[in-house]
């Protein structure tokens, strides 16, 4: 009798065949990966939007201030001149300008509607101040304004922008933390599913060992299956998440943060990274679980 001779092989697909194709853990892995990636897309959108907001507000906080002038009608021009003079002679100011009525109307329009008679209302005169590098002494500027234009108040935005910027920054961190937790949860669930699959297939493993399979071969068969299932589930989850984010209203100034919750520019790239990342998580989690379980099954 002549026995078969060894030949070069294509191991990748053949390793998959030795594990039974279906089982109670198959749908669990795919569903978990899909659901987690779906959630991850939203966490990513939240994180990126919060990041943009935090950056914008921090930038504004760091560089701009407003001088608000409220004075009796006959004093407005005199004090306006005084404010401009003080700003012009204050070191550390890159630029400044008085905000005209048209701009003031535009700023108030979202709240009061169009056609606001700015001239007829006791609306303070506003001056935009852009800080130079290094900046000005805000306390010194306040005192000079108080002395030369008693109706003028310096608002360096710290009071309201800083908490908002901090909140946005924390929201961004929460988003990142959520992504990490989602990833860890997915790894944990896939690990459990992989261990359950290995335990269910203990007899298959016994047969494979009897015919000379190394642990690395057996692990590879399970790892490939779980990685592919995760990749498939994560792809569907990411696509659904992207569709959900794309369906959100477009960002506009009036809508503020909520309508800006989405991706912009290169941010659209990140959701596409999630499926391979999920597959990598599954690969590492399953590999670790497989080798642990194979040692236990000895």
Of the candidates 35, 65, 186, 217, which one interacts with other proteins according to CB under 8 A?
217
Q: Which stretch binds other proteins (CB under 8 A): 14-22, 57-65, 261-269, 282-290?
A: 14-22
Q: Does 16 bind other proteins (CB under 8 A)?
A: no
Closest to other proteins by CB, 166 vs 215, is 215
Please tell me whether residue 239 binds other proteins under the rule CB under 8 A: no
Site string for other proteins, 146-185 (x = CB under 8 A): ----------------------------------------
114 near other proteins (CB under 8 A):
no
List C-alpha distances in Å: 35 to 41, 76, 188, 260: 10, 61, 14, 23
End-to-end CA separation in angstroms for the chain: 35
Residue ranges in 28-47 that form contacts with other proteins under rule CB under 8 A: none
Does 13 bind other proteins (CB under 8 A)? Our answer is no
Angle between helices 202-210 and 215-246 (to 10 degrees): 140
Answer yes or no whether residue 200 interacts with other proteins by CB under 8 A: no
Strands of the sheet with 125-131, listed across from one edge: 93-99, 125-131, 64-69, 152-155
- Which part of the chain contacts other proteins (CB under 8 A), choosing from 18-26, 92-100, 119-127, 222-230? 18-26
- CA dist., res. 124 & res. 144, Å (int): 19
Q: Give the chain's radius of gyration (CA, Å).
A: 32
Q: What is the smallest separation between the CB atom of 209 and other proteins, expressed in angstroms? A: 7
Judged by CB under 8 A, which stretch of 11-19, 125-133, 173-181, 232-240 contacts other proteins? 11-19
Strands 93-99 and 152-155: unpaired
Q: Kindly state the smallest distance separating residue 285's Cβ from other proteins, in Å.
A: 21
Q: Does 14 bind other proteins (CB under 8 A)?
A: yes
Cα(92)–Cα(49) distance, rounded to whole angstroms?
32
Neighbours of 297 (CB within 10 A): 15
Q: How far is the CB of 284 from other proteins (least distance, A)?
A: 21
Crossing angle (nearest 10°) for helices 158-200 and 215-246: 140
Contact 93, 131 (CB under 8 A): yes
Residues for the chain: how many in total? Answer: 298
List residues binding other proteins (CB under 8 A). Answer: 1-11, 14, 17-18, 20-21, 203-204, 206-217, 298
């Amino acid at each position: 009798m002549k026995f078969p001779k060894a030949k070069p092989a294509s191991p990748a697909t053949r390793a998959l065949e030795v594990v039974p194709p279906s089982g109670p853990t198959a749908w669990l892995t795919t569903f978990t990966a899909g659901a987690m990636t779906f959630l991850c897309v939203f966490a990513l959108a939240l994180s990126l939007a919060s990041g943009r907001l935090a950056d914008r507000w921090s930038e504004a906080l760091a560089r701009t201030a407003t001088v608000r002038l409220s004075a009796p009608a006959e004093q407005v021009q005199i004090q306006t001149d005084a404010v401009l003079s003080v700003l012009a002679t204050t070191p550390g100011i890159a630029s400044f300008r008085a905000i005209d009525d048209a701009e003031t109307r535009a700023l108030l329009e979202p709240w009061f509607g169009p056609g606001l008679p700015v001239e007829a209302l006791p609306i303070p005169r506003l001056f935009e101040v852009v800080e130079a590098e290094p900046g000005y002494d805000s306390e010194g500027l306040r005192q000079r304004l108080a002395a030369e234009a008693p109706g003028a108040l310096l608002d360096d935005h710290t009071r309201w922008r800083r908490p908002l910027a901090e909140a946005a920054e924390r929201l961004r961190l929460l988003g990142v933390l959520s992504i990490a937790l989602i990833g860890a949860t997915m790894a944990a669930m896939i690990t459990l599913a992989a261990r359950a699959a290995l335990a269910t297939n203990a007899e298959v493993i016994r047969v494979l060992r009897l015919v000379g399979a190394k642990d690395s071969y057996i692990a590879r068969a399970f790892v490939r299956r779980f990685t592919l299932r995760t990749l498939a589930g994560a792809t569907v989850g990411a696509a659904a998440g992207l569709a959900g984010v794309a369906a959100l209203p477009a960002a506009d100034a009036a809508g503020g943060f909520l309508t800006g919750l989405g991706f912009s520019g290169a941010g659209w790239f990140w959701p596409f990274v999630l499926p391979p990342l999920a597959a990598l998580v599954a690969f590492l989690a399953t590999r670790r679980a497989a080798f642990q379980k194979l040692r236990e099954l000895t």
